[in-house]
A and B are shown apart, each in its own frame.
Chain A
Amino acid sequence: AQKITQTQPGMFVQEKEAVTLDCTYDTSDPSYGLFWYKQPSSGEMIFLIYQGSYDQQNATEGRYSLNFQKARKSANLVISASQLGDSAMYFCAMREGRDGTASKLTFGTGTRLQVTL
């Protein structure tokens, strides 16, 4: 089974609108961290937001928020007030707490977001 699943290969959103990018994960480890990264065409992976498995509140960072539903094992990224500069690939990733694996980030296949006028 895939550890991280992103079911939306591509998404379009109009400027100033909100958009939700889906991410579901699979782990039996009680300790894990979920991350979202943005990758523009330049290739650099830009860290956006982090949610820990024990966090009670949904994470927020400026226009980014993470809709964390632990029972459903989903960690959707919400981008509010989309801007043209938000056009990029978005990756969901997970680090698990098991010894020897915590250093590794497992990535989903990504969602390409295109913001239109």
Chain B
Amino acid sequence: KAGVTQTPRYLIKTRGQQVTLSCSPISGHRSVSWYQQTPGQGLQFLFEYFSETQRNKGNFPGRFSGRQFSNSRSEMNVSTLELGDSALYLCASSAGSQWSNEQFFGPGTRLTVL
């Protein structure tokens, strides 16, 4: 089985712009979660989508949004970029949303905001 894929791998944007990141989960997985990783805050949960519905959301401003398509692929959008949005954005794929389900991560998208 192919693993989780994320595109693009690297991105450079300027303040005020918006960005869209894409994630394709493992085939058959219906849950996609997004995490932000920064040196200062560590790994923080952004949101989770399951069967096209947002199931859970972390403590991030409304500038961060996402969606999931019928084929389980997910996109994450950040509008009005700020310098502090520079981070590694990781997508995780899971067969379900249960506490026992393993989450498998993609390689991440490294976003730099100038």
Contact = CB atoms under 8 A, between A and B. Distances in A.
A68 interface: no
A4 to B, nearest CB: 10
Contact of A44 (B50, B94, B108): B108
Interface residues of A, number: 28
B99 A31 contact: yes
B6 to A, nearest CB: 9
B24 interface: no
A44 B106 contact: yes
B97 A50 contact: no
A44 B58 CA distance: 21
A101 B55 CA distance: 9
B101 to A, nearest CB: 8
Contact of A43 (B58, B102, B103, B108): B108
Interface string B101-114: 11111111010000
A97 B43 CA distance: 20
Q: Tell me which of A32, A33, A42, A109 has the highest count of chain B C-beta atoms within 10 A of its own C-beta.
A: A33
Q: Tell me which of B104, B105, B106 has the highest count of chain A C-beta atoms within 10 A of its own C-beta.
A: B105
Given A35-B103, A43-B88, A47-B105, A102 B43 contact: no
A91 B33 CA distance: 17
Contact of A102 (B98, B107, B108, B110): B98
Interface string A83-117: 00000000101011100111111110110000000
Interface string B15-47: 000000000000000010101000000110100
Contacts of B58: 104
Contact of A103 (B31, B42, B104): B31
Contacts of A46: 105
A96 B99 contact: yes
